[in-house]
């Protein structure tokens, strides 16, 4: 079951980065993200009601749902959507793949789990890999602060996601119901984003362009309802650090799509950068269990 959840999550989230790029433009970012999670929340509540699994939550549950909303269903995506203004979506997925390293840093900071030498080696490899992925922009004559701004925004979004991992793991350790908590968290995230939109003076209407609407539905139903719940189920089953293995493979899917649809151009430095990012994560955490079992089965 863990293997199935793992690869479904990789496939879904590896494709959502391109769909995010299709949403950026006419509709303000907070409005786009808000409608994504509003639709996702409504769909998930409807599924739970149909299955008669819509249970009431305790005050503690709602607090956890609110924290998840801030980390996983609002602020992180405000950053990711905004970053697509500065570089291809596949590069954002590369930055996002540093989530396992940020998870370990958070455990060091919050739970005093001191990282070992292996972790430090992997963290350095991952950081150098990200720098190499952006090397062509760094050394370009057209380089400006926008690239650094986009990179910084992506890192902030990834950190929010990492904190959400820890919140979800804590919630599931307390036997909180996964799907109802997620449905409320998405709803809270949507309300938070709509409030931000109104404060900024944005209308809550969104583009009716076919590509935009298709991306919105895909992100709300497949990317959010299915993708997040398979991922959070993995967090509950195998823990946040191991579940974050999924992010190691996201860039390979996302960059492949970015090459075809966004014209991302590969260079030797970007290729070496991807290898270092993936290798750095694997250095920290080792090979994922599904890949280990697949390899041993072939021996």
- DSSP string covering the chain, please? -HHHHHHHHHHHHHHHHHHHHHH-SSS-HHHHHHHHHHHHHHHHHHHHHHTT------HHHHHHHHHHHHHHTTHHHHHHHHHTTTS-HHHHHHHHTTHHHHHHHHHHHHH-----HHHHHHHHHHHHHHHHHTHHHHTSTT--HHHHHHHHHHHHHHHHHHHHHHHHHHHHHTT--HHHHHHHHHHHHHHHHHHHHHHTT--S-----HHHHHHHHIIIIIIIIIHHHHHHHHHHHH-HHHHTTHHHHHHHHHHHHHHHHS-----HHHHHHHHHHHHHHHHHH-S-HHHHHHHHHT-
Q: What is the pLDDT of residues 100-114, one digit of tens each?
A: 778 777 777 766 667
Higher pLDDT, 90 or 63: 63
pLDDT number for residue 157: 95
**Whats the size of the chain, residue-wise?**
299
Tens digits of per-residue pLDDT, 5-40?
777 888 898 899 889 988 888 899 999 999 999 999
Task: State pLDDT tens for residues 169-194.
Answer: 788 788 788 889 989 999 999 999 99
Q: How confident is the model at residue 43 (pLDDT cuts 50, 70, 90)?
A: very high
Q: Cα 21 vs. chain centroid, distance in angstroms? A: 14
- The reported pLDDT for the residue numbered 172 is 75
């Amino acid at each position: 079951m863990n293997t199935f959840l793992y690869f479904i999550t990789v496939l879904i989230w590896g494709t959502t980065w391109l769909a995010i790029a299709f949403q950026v433009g006419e509709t303000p970012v907070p409005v786009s993200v808000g409608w994504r999670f509003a639709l996702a929340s409504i769909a998930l509540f409807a599924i739970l009601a149909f299955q008669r699994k819509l249970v009431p939550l305790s005050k503690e549950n709602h607090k956890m749902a609110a924290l998840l909303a801030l980390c996983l269903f609002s602020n992180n995506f405000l950053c990711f959507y905004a970053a697509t203004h500065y570089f291809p979506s596949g590069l954002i997925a590369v930055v996002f793949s540093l989530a396992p390293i940020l998870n370990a840093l958070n455990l060091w900071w919050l739970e005093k789990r001191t990282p070992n030498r292996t972790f430090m080696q992997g963290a350095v490899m991952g950081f150098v890999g990200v720098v190499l992925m952006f090397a062509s922009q760094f050394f370009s004559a057209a380089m400006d602060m926008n690239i650094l701004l986009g990179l910084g925004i992506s890192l902030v979004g990834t950190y929010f996601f990492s904190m959400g991992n820890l919140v979800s793991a804590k919630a599931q350790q307390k036997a909180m119901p996964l799907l109802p908590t997620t449905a409320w968290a998405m709803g809270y995230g949507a309300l938070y984003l709509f409030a931000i939109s109104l404060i900024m003076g944005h209308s809550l209407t969104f583009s009716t362009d076919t590509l935009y609407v298709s991306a919105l539905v895909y992100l709300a139903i497949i990317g959010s309802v299915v993708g997040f719940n398979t991922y959070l189920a993995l967090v509950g089953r195998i823990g946040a650090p191991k579940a974050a293995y999924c992010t190691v493979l996201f860039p390979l899917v996302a960059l492949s799509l970015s090459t075809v649809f966004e014209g991302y151009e590969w260079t030797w430095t970007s290729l070496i950068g991807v290898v270092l990012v993936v290798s750095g994560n694997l250095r920290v955490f080792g090979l994922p269990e599904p890949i280990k079992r697949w390899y041993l089965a072939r021996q």
